[in-house]
Amino acid sequence: MQCQTIQPGTECTFWAKSGCTFKGNSCHNVVEACVGCERIVESEIGPVCTSYPAPEVKWVGGLCNFATHQKIKIDSVETKVNPLKASKRASGR
């Protein structure tokens, strides 16, 4: 259903006939770590996230998995593979 309070007309899964069913009956404002993210939009209560109603929760365990401005760096480690041994392993020997 569509939000009727802080983002009127925006589709929201938390909006019900009784109103906003999210904790505190409203989205929460973005936190400092969110600054620069493309998912931030202005609302009646200030900047909020379009992907998650409680942005502070998304940063508790580290990087927000929806963030567009920061990415996880994954270092790949090259290992040398002996093609003869790899072939034997693949053949199930």
Cβ-based neighbours of 30, under 8 Å, separated by 6 or more: 37, 40, 47, 48, 49, 55
Cβ-based neighbours of 9, under 8 Å, separated by 6 or more: 2, 3
- Locate all alpha helices (DSSP H) within 5-93, ordered by sequence: 55-58, 83-90
Count of residues that interact with ligand SF4, criterion CB under 6 A: 13
Query: Minimum Å distance from CB 5 to ligand SF4?
Result: 19
Selected range binding ligand SF4 among 13-21, 47-55, 74-82, 85-93, rule: CB under 6 A = 47-55
- DSSP tag of 46: E
Selected range binding ligand SF4 among 3-11, 19-27, 31-39, 80-88, rule: CB under 6 A = 31-39
Residue 30 sits in the site that holds ligand SF4 (CB under 6 A): yes
Binding region for ligand SF4 (CB under 6 A): 30, 34, 37, 39-40, 49, 51-52, 55, 58, 64, 66-67
